[in-house]
Structure 1
Amino acid sequence: MTARVLVVDDILANVKLLEARLSAEYFDVVTASSGPEALSICERAQCDIVLLDVMMPGMDGFETCRRLKANPATHHIPVIMVTALDQPADRVKGLEAGADDFLTKPVNDFALVTRVRSLVRLKMMQDELRMRAVTSREIGMRDPLLEAVAESGLDGRILVVDDRASSHERIAQALRSHHKVEVETRPQEALFRAAEGDYDLVMVSLGLSDFDPLRLCSQLRTLDRTRGLPVLVVAEPEDEARLLRSLDIGANDYLLRPIDRNEMAARVRTQVRKKRYTARLRDNVQQSMEMAITDGLTGLHNRRYMESHLGTLVEQASMRGKPLSVLVLDIDYFKAVNDTYGHDAGDEVLREFAQRLRKSVRGIDLVCRLGGEEFVVIMPDTDAGVASIVAERIRNRVAGDPFPINKGARAIDVTVSIGMAQRQGSDVDAEVILKRADQALYRAKRDGRNRVVLDAA
């Protein structure tokens, strides 16, 4: 895995040492000698991860980290603090400043490379989601990057997998003041429980008896439903080999026994924040995808979606020798509604029309707003006889009850004209079918509106 690592230290010898270690593992290394210089490099998106010394003149590492994590543009960049400070209070201070990890000098080469690779791998998984989130922000959607900065990481749902009562009881007691904690003492059941529950974090003891905890970590990363769920392992200090192996196969963070309560609280909050940040990015991407294919006013699929799917549905119907019918609908005299009552009233009519249309068709039918007051219904496995019945049901439901406008203050009569066409023989040209339905609509308009007309072809 290649990545660009920013090494920040005011002592040149330390910089050269880390640069040599990372370059030997084929990382691209850039350097900075102060906090402000590091901030500038990160703001220009010139690194994938930061190795940050704490004891620097002027702006120390804690303040540099706080500023990186408070800036939506740099919040996502992982930070590993590398320092001679080795007290639990120092680690907690670094984690509370937003650091993703805290390594004490002299740094074990294998531990350093493992942590860098693990954090870079997670960042790269998020990068595409983050880029899409920036794009969706530009079209007016909520900004998950700003929300990430404000996220507290509290009130998380934690699953503790530990079969030693003395251990899991202490962990649960320490966390329950700020989180919802559940304990699973049967490691064989932990994977199923993690997949079924809406957890923010799984804590796995590496001291499980009669079960390989590394296998559980690997399974959590393999299963689709738990692949993005953070995993924090708890290990004995002498179990360094398995600890590093757990990070290599996808664990996000670790705690060493005896557990410092404050450090545990800080690491748990960090992982909960990250999980929620990634979830927001994914939700944002899903929303932007839906916006691309959905009409914002009516909530129906838009013309883009219809054009991309009609051809596929027609082709499938042709291959299977099944019927397919298309309805093209146009609200009668809609321009008069806008001219007489205003465009707000016109929007109310369109929304109400869309609701009545959706309630009149089956779940498998594709309902789209073609544009303006024109709509399309594509009906798979439906011949002209059944489609005529559905079209008449739509027409009656529209004409049967007045449409409320002006927020319900008054109501107006609305009617709709509908043109129909059915796929003929081996016809696989979606545009031809749509055009025939449109021509039938034109005849319905010409013959007096508020009627259903079947294409004569």
Structure 2
Amino acid sequence: MSGRILIIDGVATNRIVLMARLQAACYHAVTAADGANGLDVMRRNPPNLVLLNGTLPDMPGTAVLARIRSNPALSDVPVVMLLDNLLSDQRLELIRAGADDALPRSIDPNWLLARARALMRSRAASRLLRAHEATLGQAGMAERPEGFDHPGLAAIVAEKYDVADALLQRLEPHQRNRLVALTRSEALNPRDAGQLHIDAFLLAASPGNGEATLRLMSELRTRGAAPEAEFCVLLQDAAGTAAINALNMDAQDVLDRDCPAEEIAFRLDRMIRRKKHDDRRRKAIDDGLRYSVMDPLTGLHNMRFAEPELDRLIERSRRQGRSLAVMVIDLDRFKSVNDIWGHPTGNAVLVEVARRLKAALSPGALLARMGGEEFMVALPDCDTDLARATAQRLCAAIKGEPFLTPSGQPIAVTVSIGWSLSIAERPEDTRLSMVERADQALLMAKAAGRNRAIQSRSAA
């Protein structure tokens, strides 16, 4: 994680003290004496974090904050406001204005560094997701995340259920997301509690028992009950050692137990919005990767996946001295289905054909859509008799029952299959040669009347 931190402060002493502390912690600190200079530094080389004085010689700190948030190139840079006299109402106002946090200048330097690390980790993780998504987008494999979010779910956990429930009652009037109070056991086993997809945990530590709450947070992460959930920890002393440990253990936020309910609710809401935004990115990435090797219509593998997999199967069969069958399957007179019933019905037929083929094959078979109405099957450890029986079973699976249009009218569909066999005595076999021989046999099956399977004549 890069560590370039910009200090924007009109007081030279403040800049010097902060710079010394950051440099001692091996961060690269740069400074600006006023808002205009700070914004110019950011535009030329965006930092990983900004420490911003609330009062500057040329403009209020909130004006600098507003310009940062309005600039797309800078909007995700974490900003921590530092004020000499910070009131709780003022802190919430600054956070609502876009600050990631607002802290008194007298805060423990170790706490400030822990908070800075947590904010930069969160930004780095989101940027990594964005970079992966952009890479897939350039390859045409990812779609833009949708903007609408359903309410999220925050779980409030305390040593005693009554404490968690009382906290829920305090927060509910200020919270747009759903809240649930859980025991420690329910938090560790949310399925047993009927709770799935928890977006954030609010862990309320008992007085003097912060370390037990941190152990619970660690367990929740490592057990995988909610691996992507965000964490906010409520402690008796939100600036003490336990708070620093919580931030270093990747808690997204640490607050005092007496923090106003409205602020806790707002921070929870912000955490959940960020988490759900990253969830959409993760889904876009997962979908892009999946669709890169999957045919989106039928759900079968596509040839991008099947070709290297077939190479691997051929190499394995050659190494083990076993035979391998490759089949090319084509729907008979499929053009007439599209011409008579329309392409939506044709697509429905392809989906059902894929389902029937998959159901009729053994688990070890490789099934892929080649494109259009053509499919490919590879059968490892398959001799002539098994290949012939499998091909006949596939023909029967397609012909066995008529396909139905959306209006319920039956359509008779059949397939023709050509197949080739790779054997140990023919080490020159490759994916291309096997598919080509199977394709030639398919043409023979078509010429012989369709709805049949024929083996390549060149087979030994």
User: Which band: TM-score by shorter chain?
Assistant: 0.7 to 0.9
Aligned-partner Cα distance in 1 for 2:331–2:37: 62
Could you say what secondary structure the match of 2:228 adopts? coil
Count residues in correspondence.
450
**Change in CA separation of 1:95 and 1:324 when aligned onto 2, cut-off 3 Å:** farther
Q: Give the superposition deviation at 1:333.
A: 4.7
1:124 has 2:120 as partner: no
**Change in CA separation of 1:122 and 1:298 when aligned onto 2, cut-off 3 Å:** same
Match of 1:170 in 2: 166
Q: For 1:202-247, what per-residue CA distance to the aligned partner results, in whole angstroms no more than 9, with x for missing partners?
A: 2223437597223223333434454432121111228701211121
Q: Give the superposition deviation at 1:383.
A: 4.4
Tell me, yes or no, if the aligned pair for 1:369 and 1:376 is still in contact at 8 Å: yes
Question: Given residue 235 of structure 1, which amino acid in structure 2 is its aligned partner?
Answer: L
Match of 2:188 in 1: 191
Could you say what secondary structure the match of 1:47 adopts? coil
- Larger mean CA deviation between 173-182 and 50-59 belongs to 50-59
Tell me, yes or no, if the aligned pair for 2:141 and 2:291 is still in contact at 8 Å: no
Question: Given residue 183 of structure 1, which amino acid in structure 2 is its aligned partner?
Answer: A
**Change in CA separation of 1:73 and 1:378 when aligned onto 2, cut-off 3 Å:** farther
Q: Give the superposition deviation at 1:102.
A: 2.0
**Change in CA separation of 1:81 and 1:355 when aligned onto 2, cut-off 3 Å:** same
* 1:445-456 map, 5 Å: 445-455=446-456, 456=459
Match of 2:325 in 1: 325
Q: For 1:39-94, what per-residue CA distance to the aligned partner results, in whole angstroms no more than 9, with x for missing partners?
A: 67667773222323333477644455456556665554333222234111111112
Q: CA RMSD in A?
A: 3.8
Question: Given residue 114 of structure 1, which amino acid in structure 2 is its aligned partner?
Answer: A
Q: Give the superposition deviation at 1:377.
A: 1.7
Match of 2:366 in 1: 366
**Change in CA separation of 1:272 and 1:325 when aligned onto 2, cut-off 3 Å:** same
Match of 1:259 in 2: 259
Aligned-partner Cα distance in 1 for 2:31–2:191: 41
Aligned-partner Cα distance in 2 for 1:451–1:163: 69
Match of 1:279 in 2: 279
**Change in CA separation of 1:137 and 1:238 when aligned onto 2, cut-off 3 Å:** closer
Match of 1:300 in 2: 300
Q: For 1:361-388, what per-residue CA distance to the aligned partner results, in whole angstroms no more than 9, with x for missing partners?
A: 3454332122343211223455443443
Q: Give the superposition deviation at 1:268.
A: 1.0
Under a length normalisation based on structure 2, what TM-score does the superposition of the two structures give?
A: 0.81
Aligned-partner Cα distance in 1 for 2:413–2:157: 62
Tell me, yes or no, if the aligned pair for 2:82 and 2:104 is still in contact at 8 Å: yes
Could you say what secondary structure the match of 1:375 adopts? strand
Instruction: Indicate the percent of aligned positions where both proteins have the same amino acid.
Output: 32
Aligned-partner Cα distance in 2 for 1:410–1:311: 42
Match of 1:161 in 2: 157
Could you say what secondary structure the match of 2:29 adopts? strand
Q: Give the superposition deviation at 1:400.
A: 5.5
**Change in CA separation of 1:163 and 1:351 when aligned onto 2, cut-off 3 Å:** closer
Question: Given residue 191 of structure 1, which amino acid in structure 2 is its aligned partner?
Answer: L
Aligned-partner Cα distance in 2 for 1:61–1:339: 67
Could you say what secondary structure the match of 1:377 adopts? strand
Aligned-partner Cα distance in 1 for 2:127–2:226: 19
1:204 has 2:203 as partner: yes
Question: Given residue 445 of structure 2, which amino acid in structure 1 is its aligned partner?
Answer: A
Question: Given residue 135 of structure 1, which amino acid in structure 2 is its aligned partner?
Answer: T
Aligned-partner Cα distance in 1 for 2:316–2:45: 47
Tell me, yes or no, if the aligned pair for 1:399 and 1:414 is still in contact at 8 Å: yes
Match of 2:104 in 1: 104
Match of 2:442 in 1: 441
Aligned-partner Cα distance in 2 for 1:414–1:194: 45
Aligned-partner Cα distance in 2 for 1:269–1:53: 26
Tell me, yes or no, if the aligned pair for 2:204 and 2:257 is still in contact at 8 Å: no
Tell me, yes or no, if the aligned pair for 1:194 and 1:202 is still in contact at 8 Å: no
Match of 2:420 in 1: 421
Tell me, yes or no, if the aligned pair for 1:236 and 1:257 is still in contact at 8 Å: yes
Question: Given residue 54 of structure 1, which amino acid in structure 2 is its aligned partner?
Answer: G
The unaligned stretches of length 5 or more in structure 1 are none
Aligned-partner Cα distance in 1 for 2:419–2:345: 28
Under a length normalisation based on structure 1, what TM-score does the superposition of the two structures give?
A: 0.82
Match of 1:49 in 2: 49
**Change in CA separation of 1:239 and 1:135 when aligned onto 2, cut-off 3 Å:** closer
Aligned-partner Cα distance in 2 for 1:210–1:397: 63
